Amino acid sequence: MTAPESPAHHPFPWAHIGAIVLVVAFVIAGIWIVIRQFADGDLSDDPPPTTAISPEASPPGTPPPATPPGEATPGAVDDPAWTVGSLPHMLGLAPDRLSDDSLPLNHVASYADIAGWMAACGIAAPQSLDDSDLAGWEAQLDNLAIPSTLRDRGLDPVWRQTYGFDLTQVDQVLIVGHAPDYLTIMRGSFDADELQTAWVASGYQAVEVDEQTVWSLSPGDTIDLSAQESRPALGTMNNVVMLDDGTLIAAARMSRLGSALEVVFGNAPSLAENDDLDALLVPDSGVETLASAVISKGSLVQGTESTMPLPVSTPLPLPRADLAATPESEPGMPQVNVLLIGIPLNNAVNEASPTPQPGSPAVIVINVVFDEVEEARRAGVEIAHRLDVALSPVTGQPYRDRLVQATTSVIDSENRGVVAVDAALLDGSTDWLALLSDRDFGFLFWLPEE
């Protein structure tokens, strides 16, 4: 009988067990790291947020510092902490209607800091529409870019009865788009109970949009003026919402209001994040201290042969140092992307005085955005030259008779070039709106390439 065969002897698998132990150790270490991250309350790969602290700003209306030849002023830092209610802050609440191509005309946005202007003038807001100080307060509105619908009708008792507020309660206002397809963003001293009472009485319906209660006279996406209550505001208050911080947003179309709420809740880019507008929002450039401004497409200053500044015999001077011109600079204006035209708050100090204050002329601020900083340098030379010697095709007079003490500098805003122009308004602060109305900006006109 054959004995059973002994089982083969296998060495103990130390190497295999060691590999398993090593893998388990790595897994445990990984789990421990995750637990520590949860304990710290931060699983994000993003670096911790930083707060941008900018140097003390120059007084409003102070021209940007001159730029040495061959250099340009540094551009904006990321996400600066703009003052609440300032133009940059308000643009951060508006949808980017430049990128979505929903603005067929030149106008992009207009802004007015009513409270800031009145405070600088030393004028208190009227307590009611019957206040004896209303006339003096209202007269100062002529310096600010406020759409006529709000400017002329917002002081009518019918407006307050219909919408629950009036223009005396508005501190700052930003209007985006064209009439009547406006988006209106307002900050002020609104009474939430009075607003809702007026909206209910006026027939507004409560509608949920992005988990936010919106009040609507016409929930559809057409501009409907059939309701009597829509007529005081010509439809621009058809859809309204009050945010938790008291900001009031209104739109003629429900979709416009929905787009604004997407921005407010961080689900869509704002107008301030548009590349061309971001180039305008440079800290310490004075943009934060503007009392009023209008932002337009570059097509506003697209000229024709017949609308260009009248020919001058004076030869083009050598580039000035403060224009940062390069040897490659040459006469001519490149295409303008967008431009901002406005006035600083310190204009109000002079406007409030019975007599003009020596050395404190009203100032106009014009910032013009080009694709590249080299284009801005070339444009800066041309703009300075036209302001100095050209004749306006509108008035037939030299620009220097209307815009005096002009200074021109170039800002490198990373992916864009900006020409910043500051000039004194010889005819006073309200003349900036007359310039806009007359489109008397021949010193900025450019011709499309053939």
Dist. CA 174–CA 172, nearest whole Å = 7
pLDDT one-digit tens code per residue, 114-145: 999 999 999 999 999 999 999 999 999 999 99
CA distances from 262 to 61, 90, 213, 257 (A): 34, 15, 14, 9
Model confidence at 437, pLDDT cuts 50, 70, 90, reads very high
Q: Compare 53 and 320 and report the one with higher pLDDT.
A: 320
Write out pLDDT tens, residues 391-406. Answer: 998 999 999 999 999 9
Residue-wise pLDDT tens digits, 291-349: 999 999 999 999 988 888 865 544 444 444 444 433 333 457 999 999 999 999 999 87
* Confidence class for position 353, pLDDT limits 50, 70, 90: low
Confidence tier at 350 by pLDDT (50, 70, 90): low
Which among 381, 387, 389 has a CA at the least distance from the CA of 409? 381
Q: Per-residue pLDDT tens for 238-280?
A: 999 999 999 999 999 999 999 999 999 999 999 999 999 999 9
Q: Is residue 360 very low, low, confident or very high in pLDDT (cuts 50, 70, 90)?
A: low
pTM: 0.79
- Predicted pLDDT of residue 391: 92
At 217, the pLDDT band (50, 70, 90 cuts) reads very high
* High-pLDDT (> 70) share of the chain, %: 74
Average pLDDT, the chain: 80
Which region among 183-197, 203-217, 348-362 has the lowest average model confidence (pLDDT)? 348-362
As a three-state string, the secondary structure of the chain is CCCCCCCCCCCCCHHHHHHHHHHHHHHHHHHHHHHHHHHHCCCCCCCCCCCCCCCCCCCCCCCCCCECCCCCECCCCCCCCCCCCCHHHHHCCCECCCCCCCCCCCEEEEEEEHHHHHHHHCCCCCCCCCCCCHHHHHHHHHHCCCCHHHHHHCCCHHHHHHHCCCHHHEEEEEEEEECCEEEEEEEECCCHHHHHHHHHHCCCEEEEECCEEEEECCCCCCCCCCCHHHCCCCCCCCEEEECCCCCEEEECCHHHHHHHHHHHCCCCCEHHHCHHHHHHCCCCCCHHHEEEEEEEEHHHHECCCCCCCECCCCCCCCCCCCECCCCCCCCCCCCCCEEEEEEECCHHHHHCCCCCCCCCCCEEEEEEEECCHHHHHHHHHHHHHHHHHCECCCCCCEHHHCEEEEEEEEEECCCCEEEEEEEEECCCCCHHHHHHHHCCCHHHCECCCC
Q: What is the pLDDT of residue 449?
A: 79
Q: What is the pLDDT of residue 210?
A: 77
**Can you tell me the distance from the alpha carbon of 272 to that of 283, in angstroms, rounded to the nearest whole number?**
13
What is the identity of the amino acid at 419?
Answer: V
Predicted confidence (pLDDT) at residue 224 exceeds the cutoff of 90: no
Structure confidence by residue, pLDDT tens digits, 13-43: 444 444 444 444 444 444 443 333 333 333 2
Is the pLDDT score of 439 beyond 90? yes
- pLDDT on residue 399: 94
Give pLDDT, residue 15: 47
Residue-range domain boundaries for the chain: 93-269, 278-444
Residue 8 pLDDT exceeds 50: no
- In this prediction, residues 170-179 reach a mean pLDDT of 95
Is-contact 43 33, C-beta < 8 A? no
Return the top range by mean pLDDT from 51-65, 70-84, 177-191: 177-191
pLDDT above 70 for 66: no
The share of the chain scoring above pLDDT 90, in percent, equals: 61
